[in-house]
Amino acid sequence: MGNVAVGGDAPISVQSMTTTKTADVDGTLAQIYALAAAGADIVRCTCNEQAAAEGLARIVPRSPVPIVADVHFHYEMALAALEAGVHGLRLNPGNLRKPEEIKLVASEAKDRGVPIRIGVNAGSLHPDLYKRFGGATPEALVESALQELAYFAEVDFDDVKISVKASSVPLMIEAYRLASETFDYPLHLGVTEAGPPPAGLLKGTAGIATLLAEGIGDTIRYSLTADPVEEARAGRQLLEALGLRERKGLDLIACPSCGRAEIDVIAVAKAAQGALEERNLPIQVAVMGCVVNGPGEAREADLGIAAGRKRGHLFIKGKIVRVVPEDEMVSALVEEAERLVAEGVEARLAAADSGAEAQAEADRRELLDHQGADANASETKVELIRKRLGE
């Protein structure tokens, strides 16, 4: 797909779709660049009218990522998009139904070396298949793709991706499992019409992550009722969380807080995330509520900060490097993050303040003396349980 490999051993790619009118060249390009910055590897644009096709002709040469034309009802729009130089097509077999038109588009795409995604959707399944299978079942969705492939085979075209999307997460998962057993083509994953966040994010993650964990899927898209930049960001973050793509942006971890917390962990974590995301630093950062366990629990983080006795204890890979006033915790974290990315871990560890570890240990000991080793009273509760069960 342009310069992005899809399938086989290629990295799983992130897709999203513009919400602008494709005829609005500058507005669409601005959104494409925003999507690319958020992690999108491929961007889809609607091609539903002549003005959109003409817009694509001006957009494609200036796009930082490959462009896919989305075509639903009119095969002429697919042909026009090919003339515009798009890197890929998405055809909905439930809407574009005449065999001779489908084969013509496939033949033209073959001549240009342009791949096609067969985009099956449970909500737009061909009525005949819906009736034959008694609804939008996994078997019906896969059969729709098989019929489209048969038309493609007649013109010797097999540069194909396949999606079998549904808004129902269980249906989507079962359809893709069946597709993975049926086809030897790259699969594009997505829960269609997932809705607005946070529910849409949960549904998309439930479906996509389940399949990726099973080794199913080559490219993904979150379908959110939101700014599409959120789709691209979510897709990238999911792949990074699963270890399927190298970290490109911030990964902020934070403790859930407890009785020992010396700060409002939620507020500090939000402030740190907002400040660090603006800088798009590819590191893992930890925000911990106290110094008793924080640096140890988050020792694998590139950088972190823990609160204790009105101070923030800044640590790199679990080693305390600086102690700052509590009201400077976020600014100190951001400053150190920028230096860490620029200079590297070893250099920043070498630049640690002398005495920082000793001061942090003193704060830790003082907190333990003040709060006790069990601030959440868990051991007391365990003892009560033992007594009750022993009665």
Q: How far apart are CA 292 and CA 289, in angstroms?
A: 9
Residues 200 and 268 in one domain: no
Q: Indicate whether 100 and 231 sit together in one domain.
A: yes
153, 292: one domain: no
CATH of the domain at 33: 3.20.20.20
What's the domain count of the chain?
Answer: 2
Residue 161 lies in a domain: yes
What is the predicted pLDDT for the residue at 163? Answer: 97
Judgement on whether residues 87 and 219 belong to the same structural domain of the protein: yes
The predicted structure's pLDDT at residue 369 = 67
Domain final position from 241, 267, 292 = 241
pLDDT reported for residue 357: 84
Same domain, 179 and 229: yes
46 and 191 in a common domain: yes
Q: Do the domain assignments include residue 340?
A: yes
Q: Is residue 376 part of a domain?
A: no
- In terms of domains, do 316 and 270 share one? yes
**Domain for residue 54, yes or no?**
yes
Residue 361's pLDDT is what? Answer: 82
Same domain for 218 and 77:
yes
| Cα 254–Cα 258–Cα 259 angle in degrees, nearest 5 | 150
Same domain? 63 vs 174: yes
Q: Which domain holds residue 272?
A: 251-371
- The CATH number of whichever domain residue 304 belongs to comes to 3.30.413.10
List the chain pLDDT tens, one digit each, 391 residues.
999 999 999 999 999 999 999 999 999 999 999 999 889 999 999 999 999 999 999 999 999 999 999 998 899 999 999 999 999 999 998 888 899 999 999 999 999 999 999 999 998 899 999 999 999 999 999 999 999 999 999 999 999 999 999 999 999 999 999 999 999 999 999 999 999 999 999 999 999 999 999 999 999 999 999 999 999 999 999 999 999 998 777 888 887 766 556 677 788 888 888 888 888 788 888 888 776 666 777 788 899 888 877 788 899 998 899 999 888 889 999 999 999 999 999 999 999 988 888 887 887 777 766 655 554 555 667 778 788 787 5
Q: Are residues 194 and 260 in the same domain?
A: no
Question: Do residue 281 and residue 225 come from a single domain?
Answer: no
Q: Is residue 365 part of a domain?
A: yes
Same domain, 38 and 174: yes
In a domain, 212, yes or no: yes
Whether 7 maps to a domain, the answer reads no
pLDDT at 293: 65
Residue 41 domain flag: yes
Say what the pLDDT of residue 49 is.
93
